[in-house]
Amino acid sequence: MSLKMVFLLAGAAGLVGIGIGYFLRWIISLGKKGSVELEIKQLVLEAREEAKKITDDAKTKAEETLISGRVELKEKEDKLKTVEDRLIKKEDFLDKRQVDIDKEVEEIKAKVAEVKKIKEKVETMETQKHADLEKIAKLSETEAKQFLLAAVEKKSEEDITVRMRKLETVNQEKLEKRAQEIITAAIQRFGNSVTSDVFTTAVAIPSDEIKGKIIGKEGRNIKAFERVSGVEVIVDDTPGAITLSSFDPVRRQVARVALENLILDGRIQPAKIEKEMERLVKMDLPMKQEYISVEKARKIFKDKLNLFDDQYDALKDCDGLCILTEWNQFIEGDFNKIKQNLKKPIIFDGRNIFNPEKIKQLGFKYYSVGR
């Protein structure tokens, strides 16, 4: 075999191989195409089944919702029907009741008219009767009443006197009993709530050491204070305070001032207590009343009003002094202290308690009101 033939055979074989290769590739591609189409058809079938399922579920839910809505609507219609029936029955009852009321009103009007006629008839008969009696007795109605009352009064004078005394006694007893009941009720109702405000006064104590001084050895100081002041001193665990208790507000306030002065002085002993209480007891009544007024003002106005235990402290940084009372503490005041505490030495005397010439000599501008 020649070389050319060999090459021809080889070329033919190559061409045949290429042709077979393309043929096989074409067959394979046709197989893959059929497989893809099958997968697509399978997906389409599954999608249709899923859509049908979703549609069926939606249809079922819609039917259930529709049935539930119809049931709910039916219940509401039944309720409305029941309410409507009740309203109709109530309206029928009210109509019937209105008819009965109208009928009763007509009957009452008829009876009122009948009673009015009877009353007029009775009044006419009474007038005629009185006229007949006056004609027979030859006395007017007023004269007959006076005559009858005089006779009855004369006959029953003693009985009336006894009965009046009895009534007075009974009424007095009832009034006293009622007064006791009111007082007892008031004490039971308000006694506990007002005791602390009305019957006690708190005194500020700077330290426990001062509290110990007030008590004294074996309680000598506190016993002496209670004896000369007439108030009860209550020392408890309350920090920074001691309580004074008494039904007499003047005595309680005097005791408070005495105790505060003793605390400031620092010398708390029986002799000093007696001396301080004696000084305050000799004070005039207006002065004592001032302490009560100041205490009440503290409770009412609290921080809205500046109150001072010492009259000279009240003058600090003031532009002038106005005198509106005639108390001895102002009449016998220390004018040097007054002048030192005031911004300007000015006095307005609304009670004319000072000598104008003397006050002016002390360096004050003095204005007397009404003099």
Burial class of residue 85 (count of CB atoms within 10 Å of its CB; 0-12, 13-18, 19+): exposed
Output 320 or 249, whichever has higher pLDDT.
Answer: 320
Q: Which CATH number fits domain 199-306: 3.40.980.10, 1.10.940.10, 1.10.3430.10, 3.30.1370.10?
A: 3.30.1370.10
Contact 315, 356 (CB under 8 A): no
Give the distance between the most distant pair of CA atoms in the chain. 197
What does the pLDDT read at residue 152?
A: 66
Contacts of 305 (CB under 8 A, 6+ apart): 297
What's the whole-number mean pLDDT along residues 109-131?
A: 84
Q: What does the alpha-carbon distance between residue 299 and residue 200 come to, in Å, rounded to a whole number?
A: 13
Q: What does the alpha-carbon distance between residue 33 and residue 40 come to, in Å, rounded to a whole number?
A: 11
Mean pLDDT, the chain, as a whole number?
77
Contact 229, 251 (CB under 8 A): yes
Please check the confidence at residue 288 and state whether its pLDDT lies above 60.
no
What does the pLDDT read at residue 137?
A: 60
Confidence of residue 3 (pLDDT cuts 50, 70, 90): low
pLDDT tens sequence across 162-206: 777 777 777 777 767 776 676 666 656 655 544 555 678 888 888
41-55, 151-165, 211-225, 354-368: the lowest-pLDDT one: 151-165
Q: Where are the domains of the chain?
A: 199-306, 310-371
What's the whole-number mean pLDDT along residues 244-272?
A: 83
DSSP-H helix ranges across the chain: 3-137, 141-155, 157-198, 208-215, 220-229, 249-265, 270-281, 285-301, 328-331, 335-341, 356-361
Tokens of 148: 């009858």
Whole-number percent of the chain with pLDDT over 90: 0
Please check the confidence at residue 345 and state whether its pLDDT lies above 60.
yes
Contact 224, 273 (CB under 8 A): yes
295-299, 300-304, 325-329: the lowest-pLDDT one: 295-299
What's the whole-number mean pLDDT along residues 6-34?
A: 65
Contacts of 141 (CB under 8 A, 6+ apart): 130, 134
User: Angle CA(99)–CA(102)–CA(107) in degrees, nearest 5?
Assistant: 125
Please check the confidence at residue 313 and state whether its pLDDT lies above 70.
yes
